[in-house]
Amino acid sequence: MLDGRDITAKQPDRLATLGLTRTFQNLQIFQEMTVLENVIAGFHLQEKGALVADLLSLPASKKRAVEAKKGAENLLARVGLQKAAERQAGNLSYGALKRLEIARALAVSPRVLLLDEPAAGCNAVETEEIDRLIAELAQSGIAILLVEHDMKMVMRISNHIVVLDHGEKIAEGDPETVSRNKAVIAAYLGTEEEVADADG
């Protein structure tokens, strides 16, 4: 539900126009393009010009291109990748690619940003960078829906948590409440009896 409307069956482009966008657990980056070009691609929904203007490279088309480039540069600065703007995206570290994907998602000016395991495969330093970025985005007013198995990360940056076990909700609340929930402890840490059986 978004703004009280069921958006379950909406196409991805329609969801983006409604203010909801996402990143993927498995990177969806244009590896052969530059870092800057990857983010510019995210501005395509905001471009309302005529095809003829683009084909003829009319002033209106050039203006849109300049605005998209400036917007992309600002987003790269926001995620800490401004110095890598002209590098080929495929040459970035894994953690930098994760931040690049977030920058491209931000190009549609989302109100809700879905992040699917944004720190998966990242080392401790990269995870900390993503932690800080997510916190900054949330503070800026963007609603973040985070799907993540790294419980330490979830507890550090979340203000409301829903815990699923085999597709069923077993707990919901603030981090402190959820961390003390017996069902959560049993599902994710194991009970004392289960730990003893495994050791035995």
SS (H, E, C) 117-176: CCCCCCCHHHHHHHHHHHHHHHHCCCEEEEECCCHHHHHHHCCCEEEEECCEEEEEECHH
| Model confidence band, residue 17 (pLDDT cutoffs 50, 70, 90) | confident
Residue bearing the bigger pLDDT, 64 or 94: 94
Amino acid at residue number 85:
A
Confidence of residue 82 (pLDDT cuts 50, 70, 90): very high
Domains of the chain plus CATH, in order, are: 12-148 (3.40.50.300), 159-200 (no CATH)
3-state secondary structure of 116: strand
pLDDT band at 141 (very low <50, low <70, confident <90, very high): very high
Q: Helices 94-106 and 59-78 meet at what angle, rounded to 10?
A: 130
Taking 50 as the threshold, does the pLDDT of residue 50 lie above it? yes
Question: For 34, which DSSP code?
Answer: B
Instruction: Give 5's DSSP letter.
Output: B
| Residue 195: pLDDT band with limits 50, 70, 90 | very low
Separation between Cα atoms, residue 130 and residue 164, nearest integer Å: 23
**pLDDT tens profile 157-193:** 899 999 999 899 999 999 999 988 999 888 876 665 5
pLDDT in tens, 30-44: 999 999 999 999 887
Tell me how far the alpha carbon of residue 95 is from its chain's centroid: 12
* Average pLDDT of the chain, as a whole number: 86
Whole-number Å distance between alpha carbons of 117 and 24: 8
